[in-house]
Amino acid sequence: MIAEKTGWTEKYIMRKVSWESIQRMLADAPAMKKVKTEPKLFEGDELAKILGM
């Protein structure tokens, strides 16, 4: 992820960038959270229409 965002090679990251810097970069990176959604319930005519009945 860091190599993609910075354009640095893996070799450069492993030899020239401190572990503390990498930890800060990862902590500052945007995160994604999973959001649970409730399944939509279909009834009668609506369900028949979806199933093509």
Question: For the chain, what is the mean pLDDT?
Answer: 84
How far lies 25's CA from each of 13, 19, 21, 22, 30, in Å? 12, 10, 6, 5, 10
The average pLDDT across 24-50 equals 80
Q: How far is 12 from 6, CA to CA, in rounded Å?
A: 11
Alpha helices in the chain (DSSP H): 2-6, 10-16, 19-28, 44-51
Q: How far is 44 from 51, CA to CA, in rounded Å?
A: 11
Q: How far is 22 from 18, CA to CA, in rounded Å?
A: 7
Whether the per-residue pLDDT at 17 is higher than 80: the answer is yes
